[in-house]
């Protein structure tokens, strides 16, 4: 069940909030149990066949977390948990890809392909596994104490706002709120407005410009021209941002309405002035996990330059694989690893002399090129698409553009650009932004505009077909 569906908005969410807040605040365990039941119902709605996977893997990590501190075999318990979780992830997410590649090689050498019945991918498996791994590692490191109440731990794993597509919320970030949390009208208001803005990002911006991106990426090379190719990848660049950022806003908003502070996941990634800066702003919860649980344990940047570069490549190859079992995702990860390595080799005395707006434009173009691989079906198609994008000096026509994007599409593409780059488009004065943010007029206007976005989004949803969030498949 998508957050951006009529069923969720006016059925599931409304009933959930009414019953939740009808339970007296002093009965926090009753509220937790209710949220846990609702979270499982939410998962059953989207993937009923995989509920045993969610429950049994939760049970396993609950006991392994306790055993880490109760036995003298911490490393063994950690290893069992990692093997279990990564084994499940590998089987469900990558086995189809692996068998397919092996079969292709066998056919190439004249052998029969492997017999294999494709495995269905459990909804949100990457996020579920990351939540459980982060908990076990933090318990192992002593960052968190193991949760002794099974239902509280199960709630952490299955909390439905973040269950399917994050943000990846580490246990220590909300452990106190699992036991006791504050519920205020201000928190409900903040959460509701945040949810409405996230809904608008998804339904009004991402889904609208995504139609143009889909149309253009379905064209053959012969039908592509330079301006059409750039329009297509620009639309996808903003689509994937507002689709995922919209989901994160909605998850954070629902969390606030029930007293949870789910961490931020985006911070204007397209105003980054380097690839390193981009990854500090894009999918922040994933970046932090990869840094803390993989890059630093590998040695981070405390080792030789060659080893540091190798660590970066390993991290981003796995980052690409995390997003999907496909060579295009792997190449996308390698691409970003190479860019980060290249940045580290450039002397600061050179980059320090480049104006900030040129660094921003250069970084944006590099990120945009990377999204071509992320969106394409094959690496060959991606290179073909990029070849058209940079085929300067040849005749090209814009005659097809009016048939590929509507006036509404242009409008929301411009809105997407303004919202993505607004610190540069509206001035960067911190004082002015603080005055505006603290004014009562702004706060009331913010709420009124949220209601307008909600109404317009609902009207749009009532006349559109189901369009799931892009990150649901990860």
What's the CA gap between 247 and 168, in Å, rounded? 12
Give per-residue pLDDT as tens, 113-138: 888 788 888 888 999 999 999 999 99
Whole-angstrom Cα distance, residue 161 to residue 168?
11
Structure confidence at residue 425 (pLDDT): 65
pLDDT at res. 440: 65
| Residue 122 and residue 96 in contact, taking contact as beta carbons nearer than 8 Å | no
Nearest to 454, CA basis, from 202, 108, 264: 202
The pLDDT, as a whole number, for residue 207 is 94
Residue in 183, 323, 336, 422 annotated catalytic: 323
Written in H, E and C, the secondary structure of 281-344 is HCCHHHHHHHHHHHHCCCCCCCCCHHHHHHHHHHHHHHHHHHHCCCHHHHHHHHHHHHHHHHHH
Q: What are the residues whose beta carbons fall under 8 Å from the beta carbon of 356, sequence distance 6 or more?
A: 273
pLDDT at 391: 85
CA dist 56 and 132 (Å) reads 12
Q: Quote the pLDDT of residue 303.
A: 86
Distance CA 13, CA 27 (A): 21
Task: Evaluate whether 53 touches 124 at the Cβ level (below 8 Å).
Answer: no
Residues 247/474, Cβ–Cβ less than 8 Å: no
Cα distances from 167 to residues 66, 244, 247, 250, 316, in angstroms, run 25, 10, 9, 10, 19
Contact 236, 262 (CB under 8 A): no
The answer to whether 346 and 276 are in contact (CB under 8 A) is no
Global pTM?
0.92
With a cut of 50, list the residues of the chain below it in pLDDT: none
pLDDT at 31: 96
Q: What is the pLDDT of residue 383?
A: 94
Is position 131 annotated as part of the catalytic site?
Answer: no
pLDDT of residue 164: 87
Backbone angles phi, psi at 297, to 5 degrees: -60, -30
pLDDT value of position 394: 61
């Amino acid at each position: 069940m998508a957050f951006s569906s009529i069923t969720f908005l006016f059925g599931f969410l409304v009933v959930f909030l009414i019953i939740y807040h009808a339970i007296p605040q002093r009965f926090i365990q009753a509220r937790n149990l209710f949220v846990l039941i609702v979270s499982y119902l939410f998962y059953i709605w989207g993937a009923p066949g995989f509920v045993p996977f969610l429950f049994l893997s939760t049970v396993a990590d609950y006991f392994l977390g306790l055993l880490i501190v109760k036995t003298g075999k911490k490393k063994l318990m950690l290893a069992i948990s990692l093997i279990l979780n990564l084994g499940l992830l590998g089987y469900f997410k990558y086995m189809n890809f692996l068998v397919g590649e092996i079969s292709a090689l066998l056919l190439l050498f004249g052998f029969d392909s492997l017999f294999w019945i494709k495995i269905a991918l459990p909804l949100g498996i990457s996020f579920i596994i990351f939540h459980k791994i982060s908990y076990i590692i933090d318990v192992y490191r002593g960052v968190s104490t193991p949760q002794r109440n099974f239902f509280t731990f199960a709630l952490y794993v299955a909390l439905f706002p973040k269950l399917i597509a994050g943000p990846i919320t580490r246990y220590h970030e909300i452990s106190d709120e699992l036991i006791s949390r504050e519920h205020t009208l201000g928190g409900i208001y903040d959460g509701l407005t945040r949810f409405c803005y996230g809904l608008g990002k998804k339904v009004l911006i991402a889904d609208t410009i995504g139609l143009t991106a889909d149309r253009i990426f379905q064209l053959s090379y012969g039908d592509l021209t330079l301006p059409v190719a750039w329009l297509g990848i620009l639309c996808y660049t903003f689509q994937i941002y507002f689709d995922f950022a919209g989901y994160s806003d909605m998850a954070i908003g629902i969390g606030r309405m029930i007293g949870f502070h789910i961490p931020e996941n985006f911070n204007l990634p397209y105003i980054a002035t380097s690839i390193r800066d981009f990854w500090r702003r894009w999918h922040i919860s994933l970046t932090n996990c990869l840094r803390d649980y993989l890059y630093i344990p590998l040695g981070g940047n405390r080792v030789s330059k060659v080893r540091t570069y190798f660590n970066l490549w390993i991290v981003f190859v796995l980052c690409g694989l995390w997003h999907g079992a496909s060579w295009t995702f792997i190449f996308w990860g390698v691409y970003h690893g190479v860019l980060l390595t290249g940045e580290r080799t450039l002397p600061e005395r050179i980059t320090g002399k480049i104006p900030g707006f040129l660094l921003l434009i250069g970084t944006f173009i590099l990120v945009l090129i990377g999204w071509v691989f992320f969106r394409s079906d094959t690496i060959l198609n991606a290179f073909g698409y990029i070849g058209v994008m940079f085929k300067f000096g040849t005749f090209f026509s814009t005659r097809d553009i009016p048939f590929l994007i509507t006036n509404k599409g242009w409008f929301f593409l411009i809105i997407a650009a303004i919202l993505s780059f607004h610190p540069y488009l509206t001035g960067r004065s911190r004082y002015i932004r603080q005055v505006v943010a603290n004014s009562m007029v702004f706060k009331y206007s913010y709420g009124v505009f949220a209601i307008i976005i909600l109404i317009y989004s609902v009207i749009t949803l009532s006349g559109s077909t189901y369009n799931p969030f892009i990150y649901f498949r990860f």
